[in-house]
Structures are given as structure tokens and as C-alpha cells.
Structure 1
């Protein structure tokens, strides 16, 4: 009788623990997470193209109407906000290019990917936070994944090289197979997977072209291949997948319809400015020469189709004013107008970098897996809130961040965390207790 009472007491404690959301074996109960980013996938790109796999994914999972990227709407700053949950002024990856106003250093995007001094500014990305809590993580081409953070590296890293083609569909599928083997055969918990399309096509041909529709169909086939691969590796019950992006894309306005914004018409750059990046889409930065800041600001204030800001007077909604790395003058072009400093030939037919409030800068969000609801459409939210959602799914304590789980918890079954196996275990324990007490 005493033994039976002890058994009852143990089972009651076990059920109470599960009901409180604390599984008996947290490691065994945790589901895995794959974060996939398609660079430059605007929120509405699938609305004028036949995308059966993305459509089915929405029925089998959750979909947000759209996501608002941070200001800046560029690849590196936006991806790092997603993986850290911090505003750009906090994580300080303030441009795609690595730059130094004191030396005039400017490195193109892909050359910055291995530069830890550009990424490691005291903010921990999700990979490192997860590893510090016992998880295995990997980054496949994801911006920021190849850097060290206070001496810590991501467990496994693949980094793309400059000039490597981004649109090879066969390679896309091979990358998925590799990632699935990491999950199934090597028990990785978190993998981030990056694709450079449809961004490249959007730049080269513009968002309103047959070429963009072609690459969206390729992405849709890739999503279908991903779902098949998950099934082949028997990961349907243990792998959650989030598919998102970093920014949208808009058509660049060109002559003869409009005049380009050639800033050298409005100020003498050589005389007044010691450093600038002004030929990079809709966002520009300048460091005036000593004592010339007011003169630079006044001159640019007279230029059409742009807004000029002193850094410390940037709108609070930009979350950029506190940045130590950002130069003193910031220029944001009106949607579709490209900044040009000195009559440089501008070849892009589509671009980004514009105000994140513009609908053309919004991006996609899809998710499916054992912890997500099915056939659920949420309202829009900021991409910064993806980070606490990922921490909840992985059942880890987040690092300090600016996001809020309240913005995304409605996407989750049972407020997230805890796998289907864990919920089933609780139900079995309840049945066992009932039979024991009878």
C-alpha cells in the first residue's frame, strides 16, 4: 500500500510538471528548428505567380500578411536583426559594406562575411546563445554565421564566396539534403539556411518582370523539395521550419521619366566630405569634414526626392540614432529613386534600402512544423519579433533583445515549446495515473 501511494505521488508530480510546461527531459522533448531566408523575397511576390507548394505550406502552417524589416532595409543589417532580436543601432551592422570613415575602407558585402570585427559588437546571435545552453547549431551561407563572437564560433559553418552563383537550383536541393542530414544523422538543433534569390534577379531585371516570376517558381519548387526531404529524413514530427526574408524590392525610376539624384550637383563632395557611401540603392551615409556638417546638411536639404538627417535627429522609429558606427549624416531617397554621387552609371533595375514603412520593402513569413498552428494567418509584425519566437520553439533562454513574444505567440500551438512527443507523454501519464488510482 505504501509503495502504491509513493507511485501515485510520483505520477502526480510528473503530470503537474508536464502541465506546467516543464518536460521531464527537456533535451528529449525539444524540437529542432530550421530558419530559411530567401533574400529580397517581397511580401507579395507569390500573389501573381502559381506557387502550389507555398500555398500548401500556408494551409499546413502559419502565414503572416507581411513582415516589416528594420531600418535599414539591407541584407546584412536585416539578417542580423532577425538572428539577434536587436535593433540595428544595438548590433551595429549598419550597412552591407564593411567601412571605416577614418581609413576610407569599403569592403563589398560578401567580403565582410568572414570579418568578425564587423559583426562582433557585443550582441550575441542565436547560434551562440543556443550553443551556450547545450544545443548544436549550424549556419549555411547565413549572414553573420562565419564570424566569431567573443572568441566563440558557430559549430558548423558554410560561407559563400564572392562570385559564387546564387541561382543554381540543383545546388539549392543539394544544400537542403546536406542540412537534412545534419538534423537527422548528426542531431543538430538549429540550422540557418540562406539563399541569395530572388534578390539578384530583382536587382538585375526589376521586380515587375517575367524573370522575377521565374525565380519565384524556382523557389516554390525548392520549398516542395524541402518538404519532401523532411519526410524522407523522418523529421516531420520533430522539425519546425521558418521561412522568411530580409527586405523587399522596388522598381528603380530612371530617365527619361525622372532625373537621377546626383548629389554632386548640390554640394562639392571632394571639398566638404571626407567619407561617403552614396551609390548604394536608396540609403546613403556621409562624414563631413571638420566644421562643415551644417553646410553639408543645408546643401542636401535642397536636393529633390530625398530626406537628409543628422544622425542624432533620426526618427525614433528608425532605431538608428544611438549607433556609434553610423556617420553623422544619413540620406534616405524617396521610394524608387537611386542615390548617385558623381554621375556613376547605375545599372540596377530594382533596389531596396528605402524606408521600411514602404510596402515594397515588406517581406514574407511562413512557418510550419509540430509547434505551429495549421491554416493560420496572422497580422503583420516587425521582423525583430522572430528572435523570441525562435527561442521559445528551441526552449532556450534568450539573450537580451528588443523583440516581444507577445507579437508571435499566437502562431504557436499551446504557446509554443514542448514537442508533440512531450504532450503525448503527458497524456499517457494522465492515463496511467487514472488507471493506478482506480
Structure 2
């Protein structure tokens, strides 16, 4: 079996450019990842924003955060956690196939192969680096937080539950806050999913979506109340999302079954905004010929043609043929039901992400508050590869090599330390 270290060396084909930043003396850190919170949800008519506006005035924020490509969950969780582009950290999708090992990764993490450490140890997340440096990290509702990575597990793990609603997540967030204020943890990482779910099933302008935004606004108010009431909180709060959300017309389906001969295909995974195809030997040209030009809203790439600006192409897990859809369209194929379920294929989601990360609807959020951050500071937009170095800086973690540039984010800090 190929070791995790060897796999990483084989897969990473580009240099990682980075600068080491002197970590601060370290405060407590609450890292709140709100899945699918689009950059302009604060401005939706009728949503509650008193907590958010208070945070804007009391802390720092970016105009928006640029997600990595593809603008799906796992690729961006790992970019936020490592500061690496997708082609470096190796989580190239929510669904992946390792051809060398004939091993599948699937977002629900039900398959045992999805928990194989080769996926997870290709790049070290900040919370494991923290543990290795004696900084206690707790993960709340974070997928696979029970895994030991590089032989180390977080100090605390409250495992992810798919059906957790906002009221239960409020209790979990309160528990995380208390663990920081009573000094049982140094870093608390909390994951929130309901905004993303509402966006998928009801759309980014729906009543249901706005209700979930209101919940997050209330969470922010409670956090600020608790921190401001504490005699010496010494806690920094960083709130981010992994990507945005776009409306999808249910009639906008691209059925590649009409063009693709499945006998030419060895493996096909994903559906919706992307499809990954491994043709049988000698069939790549034929598969490409059948799909290229099939539909005006289907974009077909050989691996070598994938755009440089996506920082996605140069990884061994990227397939020979990669498909992506124009915003608002949904790709289906004979095996798509294995990913999304047959019912969803007849009635696709009314909201989706995964589209080009340059698109306005894919933009995410970055908000911060605490002893390290300036008040009422608005930063120009930056890429989410920059977030990792901020997490490390405020928590006193010595960062690993990453794709961030310190000058992109240091302006929001009261006392930015000097680069080495």
C-alpha cells in the first residue's frame, strides 16, 4: 500500500508559495463555518441583520471571500483548513475516485473507503497542527472529526449529524463558547449546515433561506453579548462560508446520456455542476468528441485544458475528462442517481453551487471580531486561501506551508506581526 506521505508527494505537482508569519502570543479562537452563506445574504429583503451590523461595526470583514474551485463543500473546507489550493490539498470534489487504489470517496462518508487516511493526511488541517503544538482544539458538528490524522486527534469531537437543525446548533455553539471562556479548549471549530440546505431545497431568495439567515444573525448577537459581558474574554471570532449559492431552473437539465456511450466509460462520478469521467483505455478521444459541443451550457475539458486560474488541474485525482455547467444548469447521466438520488434527477435542486469561482453568486463571507481585529474595518475581497494564516496567527499556531500572502489580510489586524 502506498503511504500517505508518498501519495501526497505523487499528487502535488506544483510548488507551494508561502511566507511564514510570526504567530501572535495567541488568544482563544472560535471558528464558525456557515455552509452556503452567500456574500450578499445580509442584504436580502426582510432578513434580520442587527447582529451582523453590530459585528461589522465592532470588527473586521471582507467585501467578499473568493472560494476555491470547484465551489463545493469539501474542496473549500480543506482550503480553509490548510490554506492550500485544491490541487495541493487533494480534495478535488465532494466525490472522488483514486484510480491507483480503486478507492472511492463520497460526501456522506458512509463508505469505509471515504475514511481511509490517505484522503485526510495529504494535507494537515490547522486543528491538527494546533494539537501537535500543544494547543487544544475542539470540533463541533464537523465531519470526520473523530479521525486521528498523522496520529493525532482533536482534544474534543462532537460528531457531525446530518439532521441537526439551527436550535440544536445554537446549543452546540454555546457549548463551544463556554469551552473557550472556561479554558477547557483553546480553539473551537463549529460547523453549521442549515443555510446551505435551505438554499438547495428552497432557493437563495426563499422564505426558508431567510429564516436560516435570521438564525445565524441571532447566533452572532448571542456570541457578541457573551464576549462583551465577560470580564476578560480574550476570544477572537472568525465566521466564514465555504461558497455561495445560485438559483437553478428545474427545466435546465443537461442529460449527457443522450450523447455519451457508457460502454466507453470506466468510471463516472458526481453530477449537477460537475462530472468527472475516466474513459476506458483508448476511448478518451471518442468520449471527448461525443460531449464537446453537445450542449451550449456544458463545458467539456480534457485535463490539460482545465483553466490555470482554478488551481485545480495539477492533481492526480482530477480525471482525464472534466465537465462543468453554466450557472443555473444541472448535469445528469445514467449513474447520477447514485450521487443525488433518482427523485432529485426528475426535480433538481432549485439552488446549487459548484460553478465558476469567479461568478458573483459563488462569493462567500469573512467576518472577524476580537482582540486582534480592527473595529469597523472593511477589507477588499480576498481568496479563501488567506484564511488559514489568520486562524494560525490569532490562535498562536505556527503555520505550515500554504498559498496565502500575509499582506492580503494583515491590514485588518491591530498589530500585524512581521513576515519572516
TM-score bracket relative to the smaller structure: 0.7 to 0.9
**When the two structures are superposed, what TM-score results if normalisation uses the length of structure 1?**
0.82
SS for the counterpart of 1:77 is: helix
Separation in structure 1 between the aligned mates of residue 105 and residue 120 of structure 2, nearest angstrom: 18
What does residue 196 of structure 1 align with?
193
Separation in structure 2 between the aligned mates of residue 179 and residue 39 of structure 1, nearest angstrom: 18
- Correspondence 1:223 to 2:220: yes
8 A Cα contact 2:71 2:354, kept in partner: yes
What does residue 274 of structure 1 align with?
266
SS for the counterpart of 1:152 is: coil
Separation in structure 2 between the aligned mates of residue 183 and residue 400 of structure 1, nearest angstrom: 27
Question: Quick one: structure 1 residues 317 and 147, their matched pair in 2 at CA, closer, same or farther if it must change by over 3 Å?
Answer: farther
Aligned Cα root-mean-square deviation (Å)? 2.3
Residue 203 of structure 1 and its aligned partner are, at CA, apart by: 0.5
Q: Choose 104-113 or 270-279, whichever is displaced more.
A: 104-113
Structure 2 portions without partners, runs of 5+: 1-20, 337-344
Separation in structure 1 between the aligned mates of residue 22 and residue 211 of structure 2, nearest angstrom: 46
What does residue 111 of structure 1 align with?
110
What does residue 158 of structure 2 align with?
158
Equivalent residue runs for 1:138-287 within 5 Å? 138-143=138-143, 145-161=145-161, 164-169=162-167, 171-231=168-228, 234=231, 236=233, 238-255=234-251, 258=252, 260-268=253-261, 270-279=262-271, 281-287=272-278
The superposition leaves residues 54-110 of structure 1 with CA deviations (integer Å, 9 ceiling, x where unpaired) of 011000001111001000111111011001001111111112235445757463434
Equivalent residue runs for 1:94-105 within 5 Å? 94-101=92-99, 103=102, 105=104
Separation in structure 2 between the aligned mates of residue 243 and residue 416 of structure 1, nearest angstrom: 22
- Correspondence 1:314 to 2:312: no
Bigger proportion of residues as helix: 1
What does residue 52 of structure 1 align with?
50
Q: Choose 186-195 or 330-339, whichever is displaced more.
A: 186-195
Separation in structure 1 between the aligned mates of residue 347 and residue 102 of structure 2, nearest angstrom: 26
SS for the counterpart of 1:148 is: coil
Choose between structure 1 and 2 for higher RCO, CA contacts under 8 A separated by at least 6 residues: 2
Q: Choose 238-247 or 178-187, whichever is displaced more.
A: 178-187
The structure with the larger Rg is 1
What does residue 30 of structure 1 align with?
26
**When the two structures are superposed, what TM-score results if normalisation uses the length of structure 2?**
0.86
The superposition leaves residues 342-385 of structure 1 with CA deviations (integer Å, 9 ceiling, x where unpaired) of 49324311111111111110001100001000001111000000
Structure 1 portions without partners, runs of 5+: 1-20, 418-438
Residue 233 of structure 1 and its aligned partner are, at CA, apart by: 5.1
What does residue 74 of structure 2 align with?
76
What does residue 16 of structure 2 align with?
none
Which of these residues, 295, 298, 301, is aligned with residue 286 of structure 2? 295
Residue 308 of structure 1 and its aligned partner are, at CA, apart by: 1.1
SS for the counterpart of 2:312 is: coil
What does residue 327 of structure 1 align with?
319
8 A Cα contact 1:173 1:225, kept in partner: no
Aligned length: 384
Question: Quick one: structure 1 residues 116 and 230, their matched pair in 2 at CA, closer, same or farther if it must change by over 3 Å?
Answer: farther
